[in-house]
Structure 1
Amino acid sequence: MKSNRLQQLFIPVLAVLLGMIAGSIVMLASGYNPIAGFSALVYGAFGDTYYIGETIRQTTPYILTGLAVAFAFRTGLFNIGVEGQLIVGWLAAVWVGVSFDLPKIVHLPLAILAAAAAGALWGLLPGVLKAYLKVHEVIITIMMNYIALHVTNAIIRSVLSDEGFKSDPVKPSASLQSEFFGAITHHSTMHYGIFIAIAAAFIMWFLLERTTKGFELRAVGFNQHASQYAGMNVRANIILAMVISGAFAGVAGAMEGLGTFGNISTKAGFTGLGFDGIAVALIGGNNAFGILLSALLFGALKVGALEMPSSAGVPTELVDIIIALIIFFVASSYMIRWLLSRGQKGAE
């Protein structure tokens, strides 16, 4: 048991190292200095308090989208609709933040809960279709991403915006933005959402690992027929899993709407946060604590990459290649396990 847990921790770390080694080879082949490139990346992520603040801010939605993907996966579902659930959560949070005048102690939680409810509602339909009609959740969630994008754009133009493309700023009573963090991080966009994201990771861990309902959800994901034979309501658990997954994604949208941007604008395309959440969950081993670390890795890569062109002349696209290589090695973890097992047998 202990060796399996160590192996689960070791394999993602090895995958990241292999991805960086492969990325270094790509840099060399492209005529760039990998040492200078990675030095610029690390400096751009952690070089001073401003960069640290930006890295933490970027990490915040990654934690929540990673949790959304991981929660569904732990319960036997593959939620590709995190992007759409994030967008509708963003819209709901900003709508509440703009439309009401309330004390902050009421207004901010209400806006976050509205985002969670919107994301949960967007996850409800795929859950119902999966539970009752056996429609594969991957297909329906992909389609609902596009519905979310275009419906949200229409609502922004017709309801939330006088200019046609951007809402008013959310009221201060609904804002996650922080003068304190701005002061200590040289006016970075870091906000209080990081504490909400960490709390969400704890909630996911506690729910899945320490509650009877969490045991049911994991059991249904592992074997639906055995769970049904044991008296569990398989359909209800499938729906609940998608609803909770969608709620995590909706809160990720609130982090952007109430924290990073303070508004919502029409989008020509997807934010990418929901799709990156798949990789965050994969690298984090679908474990709440692992997701905190993998989200920090992704936040550092995304923010640090902005420093690479100016300091090392390395195009930011190479960071996307490195991320893709890391995901490839994590996805190929069965090969790493096979090599490790062969090495253990050879040692014996």
Structure 2
Amino acid sequence: MGKNQGIKSIMAVLLGLLAGALLMLIMGFNPVEGYRYLFKGGLMNLERIGNTIATATPLMLTGLSVAFAFKTGLFNIGTPGQMLFGGFCSIAVGLTLDLPRGILLPIIVLSGVLGGAVWGIVPGYLKARFNVHEVVSSIMMNWTAYWIIYYMVPKYFKGEFLETESKMLVESATLRVDWLTNIFKGSYINLGIFLALIAVLIIWFILNKTVLGYELKAVGFNRFGAEYAGMPVNRNIIISMMIAGALSGLAGAIQYTGNANIMQIGVMPSQGFDGIAVALLGASSPIGVIFSSLFFGVLYVGKGFMNAAVKVPPELADTIMATIIYFAATSMVMDRVIKWFKKKKNKGKNDKDKSSERVVEK
């Protein structure tokens, strides 16, 4: 993430927090107390820190999915469906296979990745072959995944007590491990965080150190120029959406077999849509996505504690997040503010230099 992009993200966060403070004042709450309990709720002890990291993990991957697609000139709004289908594949494998944990867990994770990749290939192929806009086809794939799972879970994996949720995974089929839970004092943090960080490093390497990454970014920058240069544009579009889908599928595997151990029907995962916000705040940079997802994780975990402690509505935290994204998206305004500050700084420096010259001349 470039220096200017980092400054813009920090400005967006500060302006969003300022807007939230004004809202608290208008509603009759003390903003200092509100923010103190908001951040305390996500960071006050090891258990809550673990929960914050666990909550941020699927956001990290869906944000990375959207950011990767942005880098290649595509808008992957299909992250919820890719995450949902990937999570369903993982749950289905975990409930069906009876294997040793060392063999079962890699298969569960891989099935989630492949499920998400398949769900990403479809809009990629439609874009490359028929020039169908990926936003339209991705939204359709979201609802296709939603209704497939709405039917499949009660039909084949119905829970013991409710038809609206699947059976519970046994402990050996989940990503939770005792040593990590014990370190964070009973938190639901799991191995997913390590998988997410590995994924970030892989995507960073692909984008910055490989020919494929160069070609994908070239297609995103100028599709017709890349085609004129002899690059396989259509193939790269499909590959880009497949990789983005795989990342969202991994997010689904972690959410449903790590943060939870069941899948509910009738629920589109909000982490998919929130990944767009994470990518925007992280300036579509793999490293930036890590920090923005952790920040959103703090807000997600802390808003309930803020409500319990000082009765500030949790919806206010959602409003703060929306405001931050609004400021992050208005990069043109941020650019002008940064340029104004730089111009003022340079002008002050030039005036100081001129004053020094006059003193020397005298």
TM bracket, shorter-chain basis: over 0.9
Change (3 A) 1:42 1:162: closer
CA distance in 2 between partners of 1:344 and 1:181 (Å): 46
Distance 2:52 2:326 in 1: 24
Name 1:117's counterpart in structure 2.
114
1:227 is matched with which residue? 226
Is the Cα contact below 8 Å between 2:159 and 2:168 reproduced in 1? no
1:283 matched to 2:281? The reply is: yes
Provide the TM-score with structure 2 as the length reference: 0.92
Question: Which residue of 2 is the match for residue 77 of structure 1?
Answer: 74
Q: Is 1:46 matched up with 2:43?
A: yes
Residue 58 of structure 2 aligns to which amino acid in structure 1? P
Residue aligning to 2:270: 272
How far did residue 166 of structure 1 move?
2.2
After TM superposition, the structure 1 = structure 2 runs for residues 134-283 of structure 1, keeping only pairs within 5 Å, are 134-161=131-158, 163=160, 164-267=163-266, 269-283=267-281
How many residues are treated as equivalent by the alignment?
A: 344
Is the counterpart of residue 294 in structure 1 residue 289 in structure 2?
A: no
2:21 equivalent in structure 1: 24
Per-residue CA shift, 1:191-247, capped at 9, x if unaligned?
111100111100110111111111111111111111111111100000000000000
Aligned partner of 1:324 in structure 2 is: 322
In 2, the alpha carbon distance for the partners of 1:194 and 1:133 equals 38
Q: Identify the range of structure 1 (310-319 vs 334-343) with the bigger mean alpha-carbon deviation.
A: 334-343
CA contact (8 A) 1:69 1:277 kept: yes
The equivalent residue for 2:351 is none
Question: Partner amino acid for 1:311?
Answer: A
**1:102–1:173 CA contact under 8 A, matched in 2:** no
AA aligned opposite 1:118:
G
- Quote how far apart the aligned CAs of 1:256 are: 1.3
Distance in 2 of aligned mates of 1:243 and 1:253: 15
1:125-136 equivalent positions in 2, closer than 5 A: 125-136=122-133
The letter for the 2-side match of 1:207 is I
* Cα shift at 1:184: 2.6
* Distance in 1 between residues matched to 2:342 and 2:54, nearest whole Å: 42
What value does the CA root-mean-square deviation take over the aligned residues?
1.3
Residue pair 2:63, 2:293 contacting (<8 A) in 1 also:
yes
Match for 1:146: what amino acid? Answer: W
Instruction: Name the structure 1 match of 2:355.
Output: none
> Residue 118 of structure 1 contacts residue 250 of structure 1 at CA under 8 Å; is this kept in 2?
yes
Three-state SS of the structure 2 residue aligned to 1:169 is coil
Q: For the Cα contact (< 8 Å) 2:207–2:217, is it kept in 1?
A: yes
Cα separation, 1, equivalents of 2:59 and 2:159:
31
Instruction: For 2:264 and 2:341, locate their aligned partners in 1 and report how far apart those are by CA, in whole Å.
Output: 53
Equivalent position of 1:93 in the other structure? 90
Gaps of 5+ in 1: none
What secondary structure does 2:2 align onto? Answer: helix
The answer (yes or no) to whether the contact 2:164–2:264 under 8 Å persists in 1 is yes
Partner of 1:105: 102
Which amino acid in the other structure matches residue 211 of structure 1? T
2:59–2:278: 8 Å Cα contact kept in structure 1?
yes
- CA apart distance, 1:162: 5.1
Q: What letter matches 1:214 in structure 2?
A: G
1:335 aligns to 2:333 (yes or no): yes
2:102 & 2:278 partners in 1: Cα distance? Answer: 32
Cα displacement (A) at 1:313? 1.4
d(CA) in 2 for partners of 1:343, 1:202: 34
Unaligned runs of 5+ in 2: 348-362
Q: Aligned partners of 2:6 and 2:180: how far apart in 1?
A: 32
In structure 1, the residue corresponding to 2:333 is in which secondary structure? helix
8 Å contact 2:83–2:269 — kept in the other structure?
A: no
Question: 1:280 deviation in Å?
Answer: 0.3
TM-score, scaled to structure 1: 0.96
- For the Cα contact (< 8 Å) 1:169–1:263, is it kept in 2? yes
Question: What is the alpha-carbon distance in structure 2 between the residues aligned to residue 103 and residue 285 of structure 1?
Answer: 41
Shift of 1:94: 0.6
Distance 1:180 1:162 in 2: 29
User: Which residue type is aligned with residue 191 of structure 1?
Assistant: N
The separation in 1 between residues aligned to 2:109 and 2:138, in whole angstroms, is: 22
